[in-house]
Amino acid sequence: MNAPTPVAALAPTVKLLIGGKFVESKTTEWRNVVNPATQEVLARVPFATPEEIEAAVASAKQAFKTWRKTAIGTRARIFLKYQQLIRENMAELAALLTAEQGKTLPDAEGDVFRGLEVVEHAAGIGNLQLGELANNVANGVDTYTVLQPLGVCAGITPFNFPAMIPLWMFPMAIATGNTFILKPSEQDPMVTMRLCELALEAGIPAGVLNVVHGGEAAVNAICDHPDIKAVSFVGSTKVGTHVYQRASLAGKRVQCMMGAKNHAIVMPDANKEQSINAIVGASFGAAGQRCMAISVAVLVGEAQKWVPDFVAKAKALKLSAGTTPGTDLGPVISCAARERVEGLIERGVQEGATLELDGRKPNVPGFEKGNFVGPTVFSGVKPGMSIYDQEIFGPVLCIAAADDLEQAIEFINANPNGNGTAIFTQSGAAARMFQEDIDVGQVGINLPVPVPVPLFSFTGSRASKLGDLGPYGKQVVMFYTQTKTVTARWFDDSTLHHGVNTTISLK
């Protein structure tokens, strides 16, 4: 949540979405949306006024009165149409995302596609939002539950997945009968707004989906507003903790998916080539700007001899703008992000880690102004070093050592974060021991980024997650609904009456 910066006056403006209309903000605070590979100003994004945020919430509150009673089949068909529109506009969406965020075009398409999977899941809401029935719990008495929407809900999304994470949030919230306020990252809101345009084209009614932009003030307004019933957040641990505490104190349901330090164990029996390829791809893809990036490889026993192979594989990756064919990783999101990553690399050297590959100040022909950091590899990394204790959020792989699997598991479990982890091995016994004993929410076996498909839910744990329920899958249906339990008895003229019953039992 950075402060507004001086903006390019002639750049196009990003609009607010309030009451079904894309409107120009009346704010005096703006921020540039910058291409991280070129520093070209793509647009100006407003920091919405308190009055505009209030108008968005009021619009959502009014729309909820009718949307909550809209037939579940009607809601499902909107998302069937929506997934079709996303598919038809995939190339445009990926190009927008690459321009403002810096990912390679294939990775940008992957960003959109993983969100599309949740849209497809939302289209099956008729099978997801089912209650339960128990017949004849007492004489002539039935009990059943219904899952009813909460009201106005809100989502706060990060810069690193500007398509996927908004699509994690508003489709499931809206499909379950709620209305929604979305606050995208102010660093790359353009692809999010295009997705919202397509959502309206698919048939989402006016007021059901609203978008406001801004920084800390907008986040606080969402957390504090009495008419917002639930808040979903994905982003840094610092901001997520603030959101969770503030929104919880305001009486809201809150789910916060936050920072991470994801480890991959490499056993000596692992397939060497496949394991190194997988870990290097998961570490440096998206320039390391993934909450599920593998940032620490724990090499066990004889696998410690593979450090030069990791370095060689990382060194061969191509660094350029995301639009350049064959590029493996693009720039980080901003100049500030680049400076932070470079500073942590320097601290890693000062604190005693061995810098095997230095990605600072790379030469990227044609994109000399870009926010580039090349693949960087450290070995000899230990807890207490800044590069281990902090989430770098850049293309830096830390390599640690362990004598055996038990020591590697203890090493990972001692880290406060629990977003994702993986093991590479050909031993079923080792894999089973790992999945049983590891204290991390999402586990991969010979798979470096174990993000589940929407049939399941994102299940980070410990310091990586606040709140009980995940952001998609069956869990999110529970998050966005409240259970109403109905116990009913119907009488007819033939029913025997037993007089007054002053007990609590049903007979």
SS3 for 300? strand
Q: Which two tokens stand for residue 503?
A: 């007990």
CA 73 to chain centre: 27
Catalytic residue (choose from 223, 256, 291, 398)? 291
The residues pairing with 300 across neighbouring beta strands, listed in sequence order, are: 402
Tell me the C-alpha to C-alpha distance, in Å, between residue 367 and each of 37, 102, 394. Answer: 6, 12, 18
Separation CA 397–CA 307 (nearest Å): 11
Half-sphere exposure (CA, 13 Å, Cβ side) for 455?
0
Q: Which two tokens stand for residue 36?
A: 């991280």
Instruction: Give residues with Cβ within 8 angstroms of 193, minimum separation 6.
Output: 14, 15, 17, 22, 184, 211
Max distance between CA atoms of the chain, in angstroms, equals 90
Nearest to 413 by CA among 390, 386, 434: 434
Nearest to 293 by CA among 471, 417, 122: 417
Residue whose tokens read 């362990």: 402
SS3 for 114? helix
SS3 for 463? coil
Check: CB of residue 320 under 8 Å from CB of residue 367.
yes
Helix intervals (H) in 123-236: 125-128, 164-175, 190-202, 216-224
Burial level of 166, CB count in 10 A (0-12/13-18/19+)? buried
SS3 for 255? strand
Separation CA 139–CA 450 (nearest Å): 49
Residue whose tokens read 């470096």: 448
Separation CA 11–CA 209 (nearest Å): 26
Q: Which two tokens stand for residue 127?
A: 């099978």
Q: Which two tokens stand for residue 482?
A: 């409240």
Residue 291 annotated to the active site: yes
Q: Please state, as a whole number, how many other Cβ atoms lie within 10 Å of the Cβ of residue 413.
A: 15
Separation CA 56–CA 60 (nearest Å): 6
Please list the active-site residues. Answer: 291
